Amino acid sequence: MGGKFANSFQRSPKPAKTRHILLATLLAIVLRGRKPKSSNAGAISSPSQPMTLHTVGGARKYLNAAERQRFAAAAETMTPEPRVFCLLLMWSGCRISEALALTPVAIDREAGTVAFITLKRRRTSVVRQVPIPAALINDLTNVFKLAQREQDGSLRTVRLWRWSRSTAWRYVKNVMKRAALSGSAAMPKGLRHTFGVAAFQAVPPHIVQRWLGHASLRTTGIYGDVSGREEHLFAERIWESW
């Protein structure tokens, strides 16, 4: 205790019992306005929302095969840099920020892979290599003159696309509009989901996890919730038996 409270105790020789009562009363006044520290014990925690590939209303957050083809065709009508950017998102499942961080040294033209830094992970050193079609490798090589940049020490580590995130977002939305696509799937995240769905139905889950840069296989598992070609074949057997 400090200030006038300490002085008053010194000036008033009270019995020990009375002094203890006053101290307890003062402590209660001081603590009355304080909020107790939050504790996990007894606290009601709201369960985290599970990841899903559909909105509350049931709309898809990914493009189906026909929509994916329309997106690719619309991307071909763009100028070179936006075109290869949109196609890279579609064929690799990378995030916008990961694509914008690419430099010439991140593209292995002989192996046909692109090395992405997984920016959402806590350790920025997590790098994953994702294979992309040879045609897209050639397109990237020609648009950005990768052979020359690889030999130039001042350009080898300079970003390919010097855009802001919002500019990249607008280019993707423009292609979606040209392809007559709208809704929750018509955005960059929709392309990532589209890649995840297609990859999950073609390759083992652990490879999809690595390509997408997921820390947990449980996250990758959401792409197994989409009905694939094999399920349709099973369903056709039922239809034929009726």
Beta-bridge partner residues of 89: none
φ/ψ of residue 129, rounded to 5: -100, 130
CATH number at residue 150: 1.10.443.10
**Alpha helices (H) in 44-187, listed in sequence order:** 65-75, 80-92, 96-100, 134-144, 146-151, 165-178
| Token output for 86 | 């949109």
Residue, of 226 and 193, whose pLDDT is higher: 193
The residue segments making up the domain with residue 194 are: 65-222
| Token output for 39 | 């504790």
Burial 211-226 (b: 16+ CB within 10 A, else e): bbbbeeeeebebbeeb
Q: What is the DSSP secondary-structure string of 229-242?
A: HHHHHHHHHHHHH-
**Residue range 176-195, pLDDT digits in tens:** 999 999 999 999 999 999 99
Question: Does some domain include residue 236?
Answer: no
| C-alpha neighbours within 13 Å on the C-beta side of residue 233 | 3
Q: Which residue in the block uniquely carries the two structure tokens 């769905």?
A: 197
Distance (Å, whole) CA 18 – CA 41: 37
**Residue range 1-28, pLDDT digits in tens:** 444 434 443 444 445 544 544 554 544 4
Question: Does some domain include residue 10?
Answer: no
Question: Does some domain include residue 149?
Answer: yes
Total domains, the chain = 1
Question: Does some domain include residue 210?
Answer: yes
Question: Does some domain include residue 79?
Answer: yes
> What pLDDT is recorded for position 242?
86
> What pLDDT is recorded for position 233?
74
Question: Does some domain include residue 53?
Answer: no
| Token output for 144 | 């950005």
Contact 161, 85 (CB under 8 A): yes
In the predicted model, is pLDDT for residue 231 greater than 70?
yes
> What pLDDT is recorded for position 41?
41
pTM confidence score: 0.76
Side chain identity, residue 198: A
Question: Does some domain include residue 227?
Answer: no
| Token output for 61 | 């957050």
**Residue range 42-89, pLDDT digits in tens:** 434 344 456 789 999 999 999 999 999 999 999 999 999 999 999 999
3 state SS for 141-175: HHHHCHHHHHHCCCCCCCCCCCCCHHHHHHHHHHH
Distance (Å, whole) CA 131 – CA 92: 7
> What pLDDT is recorded for position 124?
58
Question: Does some domain include residue 187?
Answer: yes
In the predicted model, is pLDDT for residue 30 greater than 50?
no
**Residue range 102-157, pLDDT digits in tens:** 999 999 999 999 999 987 766 657 899 999 999 999 999 999 999 999 999 999 99
